[in-house]
A = this chain, B = another copy of it.
Amino acid sequence: MPRTSDKRERLITAAKTLFHEQGLAQTTLADIAATARVALGNVYYYFKTKDDIASAVIAERAAEVRDVLDSCDCASCPRECVVSVLKKMRGRAAEYVDKGCPVGALCQELGRSDSPLTDQAYGLVRAQIDWLTDKFGAMGRRDARDLAVQLVSEMQGVSLTARAIGDARLLRRQLDRLIEWVETL
């Protein structure tokens, strides 16, 4: 009997994937438990409610967002930092067209209920905006925040339209345009 089990982590991982692929409302606790190979009744030892699982998943996504931004953060050139983010998304174009943006999906689904989860989900978007605002500011732009909002909006938007058309090349082309835009800013 291990003093520490990885079941909690397995549950979060399973929930994260399922929420992304099927949405929060469509994913049942039975789904999560089965995917994580945990008995249904045992889920409640780790999480008091379904919302608690959702909260943990959003926290995980927040950590992922931080990791991505951190990995793109080079102290020398803020412009390169921004381009790095776009290139990273470009590398996952197929995934974005296939399953959509995990952050955008969470925001859209939780944007309606005004539970604490709503603000937590929107925090994922605000974190990106804040980071980009910092970079555009370092580039000497007075309108740094507006530019940050614009770029995050475009990233979210092109993900949706590319999905609607079902064309990953379209998404890559739009991201190339954004990269070019940032480089000539």
The quantity of this chain's copies bound in the complex is: 2
Contact yes or no, A23 B160, CB < 8 A: no
Among A23, A25, A173, A174, the one with the most B-chain Cβ atoms within 10 Å of its Cβ is A23
Give the residue of B23, B122, B126, B154 whose beta carbon is less than 8 angstroms from that of A109.
Answer: B23
Using C-beta atoms within 8 Å of the partner chain, give the interface range for chain A: 35 or more
Chain A 171-185 interface residues, beta-carbon cutoff 8 Å to B: 173-174, 177
Determine whether A146 belongs to the interface, using a CB cutoff of 8 Å to chain B: yes
Residue ID in chain B nearest A25 by CB atoms? B25
Assuming A25-B23, A100-B112, A164-B126, is B146 touching A157 (CB within 8 A)?
no
Chain A at the B interface: mostly helix, strand, loop or mixed? helix
Determine whether A49 belongs to the interface, using a CB cutoff of 8 Å to chain B: no
Q: Which chain B residues border A17 with CB–CB below 8 Å?
A: none
Q: Which chain B residues border A26 with CB–CB below 8 Å?
A: 25, 112-113
Give the residue of B153, B165, B173 whose beta carbon is less than 8 angstroms from that of A161.
Answer: B153
Shortest distance between the CB of A68 and any CB in chain B (Å): 18
Q: Which chain B residues border A150 with CB–CB below 8 Å?
A: 154, 158, 174, 177
Q: Which chain B residues border A160 with CB–CB below 8 Å?
A: 104, 107-108, 125, 153, 156-157
Contact yes or no, B108 A164, CB < 8 A: no
Q: Which chain B residues border A173 with CB–CB below 8 Å?
A: 146
Contact yes or no, B165 A126, CB < 8 A: yes
Given A105-B108, A150-B174, A155-B157, 18 additional A-B pairs, CB 8 A: A23-B25, A23-B112, A25-B25, A25-B26, A100-B111, A108-B108, A125-B161, A125-B165, A126-B164, A146-B174, A146-B177, A149-B158, A149-B162, A149-B170, A149-B174, A153-B161, A156-B156, A156-B157
6 contacts between A and B (CB under 8 A): A104-B108, A125-B160, A153-B157, A153-B158, A153-B160, A156-B156
